[in-house]
Structure 1
Amino acid sequence: MDYWSFINRYQLHIADKVESFDLKLIYLLQHCEERVYEQLKHHSACESPRESYETARRELYERYGQPHIIARRCENLLQDVPRLTLNDPAGLEKLAVLQRNCCASLEKMVGTSIVDSVGFISSIAYKLPLKMREKWVSESLRVQDRTNNVARFADFAKFVIEQSREANSVFGKCLFSSPVEKTDTAAP
C-alpha cells in the first residue's frame, strides 16, 4: 500500500539528486524493508549499474506498484478488520487510519476497485456498531442526493474518520469507553 508514497519520496529526495546509478541502487535497496531488500539485492551484482538500477525499479513496481496489487492489499486488510463495539474507540480509530491509508493509496489509480462496490462497503460497514451503521445509511443517502451517485469508498472512509474523531474525543471516550454500558436512565 505504501509503494507510491515510498517511490515518490525516493525519487524526489534521492534519485533526482544523485547522478550515479550505482548509488541510486544502493540507496533504493537501503530504504526498502528487509524482505523487499532480500528480493532485490541480487541486482547489485550485475555489471551495468544503470541496468541494475532500472531492473530493480521495474521489479519493485511489478511486485508492489501495480494498481491491482495495491487494491487487493487494501481489500484484504479491510476484510480482516474485526467487528467493532460501541465502546471501542481505539478499534474505530484503527479502522479510520486504515481507510485513510487505503484512500491515499487508491486515489492515484485509474479505474475502479472492488472497494467502491456497494457489497464491499456494506461488508465493512457491517463491522461497525449498529448505531453507526444506521448513521451510515443516512449519510450514504445524503451523498447520493448531493452527487447523484451511490456513495463510494472515499465517502465511507470520510464517514468512519468523522465517527472515529467523535468517539475519540474527550466526551466520546468518557461516554462510550466505559466497560459497563452507559444507559439513558440516569438523571440529567
Structure 2
Amino acid sequence: MSVRSRPVSVRSSQSAASSLALNAAQARADLAVAKARAEFNRRKAEANRARIEAEVEMDRLQIEQAVAAAQIRADTLETELQLLQSDNEGSALSELPVDEPDQRVVEWRNEEPVLNVVQEDTDTKSPVISQPSHPSHSESASHLLTAIGLGMNMPKPEISTFDGNHLEYWNFINMFEVNVASKAIDDRSKLTYLIQFCVGKARNSIANCVLLGGSEGYAEAKRILKEEFGQAHVIAKAHLSKVLNRPQVRPNDGKGLWDLARDMRRCQTVLSQMCYSADMNSSETLLRIQQLLPIHLQMKWAKKAYAMMEKLTTPDFKCMSSFVEEVAKLANNMYGQNIGGSYPKNTPKWKPNSKGITSLTTTTRRPEVSLTTETRLTCPACCRKPQVRKV
C-alpha cells in the first residue's frame, strides 16, 4: 500500500508547487499594477500642482500689472499737478514789483530763465520781463491731459484669440506686438497676456512657459508659437490652399468672385510681408487660378497677360489679384447683375393694325366670374328687395 500511494503524493506536491508559483506570479503582477497606479497618481498630483501654481502665478501677474498701471497713472497726474503749480507760481512772480535801480530782462534759452543786466532806464525803475517764445507749460499740460483723457475714454482695441490656425498666426502676432508688446510692461506681463490670448492647442503649447520666469519664458513662448504655427512655408501653403481648393466660379456669380478676390488679397498681403512670394508668383499657381474663373474672364486675363508680356512685364500674383478684384466689382454693381436678366412680363407690346399703323396695346386680364345655378340681383333703386333669377 505504501508503494502505490507514493505516486499520488508526488503528484499532489507538484500541483501544490504549481499553484504556489501561480499565486506568486499573481502577487508580483498585483504589485506591479499597484506601483504603476501609484506612479500615475504621483504624476497626476504633480501636474495638478503645477497647474495650480501656474494659475496662482497668472493671478499674481495680473494684480502686479493692475498695480503698476495705477502707479503710473498716479505719477502722471502728480507730475501734471506740479507743472500747473510751477506755472502758476511763475505767473505770480512776474507781477511782483522790484525796487532795484537797474533794469533786468529775463530771457528764455532752452527752457531755462537767464537774467541779463541791461542799461538803466531813467524813466522807470521796474524790471521788464520778456515773454517766453516757446509755448507755456499750461498749454503743454492741457494737451497732455487731453491725450490722457482720450486714452482713458476711447474703447480698447480687441485682440482676437489664437487657436493654432496657420492662417491667423501672422495677424495675431502683429496685433499682439502693436497692442500689448509695444507697451511699457515687463516680459512677465507680456507672457501672461500671450497665454491669455491663446486658446486650444496654442495655449497647451506655451502654458508651462510661465514656470520659466519673465524674459526667458516670454522668449520661449514666442519661439514655440513660431516653430509650431508660424513657419513661412506652412503659412504660405495654407493660404494658397485656401485660394486654390475651391470649385470653379460660375458666370455672373458675383459672390464667388468677391470670395476669390478677398482670399487672394489676403494671401498676397501676408506672403509679401513675410518676404515669401516665390510660390504664389509661380506660373503653376497663376494657371490654376485662371482655371477657377469663368471662360469669358479666362479670355480677358489671357489678353491682359499677353499685353503685359508684350511690354516685357511678367504677370504676377499681385496683377492677377487686382484683375479678379476689378471683375468682382464689375459683376456686383447694378449693371453687372443685370447681365443675362429678363424684362418684366407685363411690358407693353407694339402691334400693327389693319391700316399699317402701329399702336401700343397692353394685355389686361378680365376678372373671372364663377357661374352658379342662382344669381342674386339687387334693384339699383331699392336694395332691400333682392330678386332671384335662375340661370
| TM-score, normalising length: structure 2 | 0.42
Question: How far apart are residue 18 of structure 1 and its match?
Answer: 4.0
User: Counterpart of 1:22?
Assistant: 188
- What is the number of equivalent residue pairs in this alignment? 176
- Is 2:330–2:336's contact at 8 Å kept on the other side of the alignment? yes
User: Counterpart of 1:9?
Assistant: 175
- Is 1:143–1:155's contact at 8 Å kept on the other side of the alignment? no
Aligned residue identity for 1:153:
F
Q: Which has the larger radius of gyration?
A: 2
Structure 2 residue 129 is matched with structure 1 residue 129: no
The separation in 2 between residues aligned to 1:2 and 1:140, in whole angstroms, is 32
User: Counterpart of 2:30?
Assistant: none
Question: How far apart are residue 89 of structure 1 and its match?
Answer: 0.9
Q: What is the aligned-residue identity percentage?
A: 27
The separation in 2 between residues aligned to 1:175 and 1:77, in whole angstroms, is 29
Is the strand fraction higher in 1 or 2? 2
Is the helix fraction higher in 1 or 2? 1
Aligned residue identity for 1:115:
M
Could you say what secondary structure the match of 2:185 adopts?
A: coil
- Is 1:2–1:105's contact at 8 Å kept on the other side of the alignment? no
Structure 2 residue 318 is matched with structure 1 residue 154: yes
User: Counterpart of 2:5?
Assistant: none
What stretches of structure 2 of length at least 5 have no aligned partner? 1-166, 343-391
- Is 1:85–1:129's contact at 8 Å kept on the other side of the alignment? yes
- Is 1:18–1:24's contact at 8 Å kept on the other side of the alignment? no
Could you say what secondary structure the match of 1:107 adopts?
A: helix
The separation in 1 between residues aligned to 2:181 and 2:326, in whole angstroms, is 38
- 1:11-68 CA-partner distances (Å, limit 9, x unpaired): 1221111422222112222333544223332323x23122111111111122233321
Is the alpha carbon distance of 1:86 and 1:33 closer, same or farther for their aligned partners in structure 2, counting shifts above 3 Å?
A: farther
User: Counterpart of 1:140?
Assistant: 305
The separation in 2 between residues aligned to 1:170 and 1:26, in whole angstroms, is 51
User: Counterpart of 1:184?
Assistant: none
- 1:103-160 CA-partner distances (Å, limit 9, x unpaired): 11111233543221112211111011000100111111233334x2321111111111
- 1:78-104 CA-partner distances (Å, limit 9, x unpaired): 221211101311111110100010011
| TM-score, normalising length: structure 1 | 0.83
Out of 213, 223, 227, the position equivalent to 1:62 is: 227
User: Counterpart of 2:272?
Assistant: 107
Structure 2 residue 243 is matched with structure 1 residue 81: no
The separation in 2 between residues aligned to 1:118 and 1:130, in whole angstroms, is 19
The separation in 2 between residues aligned to 1:29 and 1:72, in whole angstroms, is 26
RMSD across aligned positions (CA) = 2.1
Is the alpha carbon distance of 1:16 and 1:73 closer, same or farther for their aligned partners in structure 2, counting shifts above 3 Å?
A: same
User: Counterpart of 2:205?
Assistant: 39
- Is 2:308–2:314's contact at 8 Å kept on the other side of the alignment? yes
Is the alpha carbon distance of 1:47 and 1:64 closer, same or farther for their aligned partners in structure 2, counting shifts above 3 Å?
A: closer
Is the alpha carbon distance of 1:131 and 1:55 closer, same or farther for their aligned partners in structure 2, counting shifts above 3 Å?
A: same
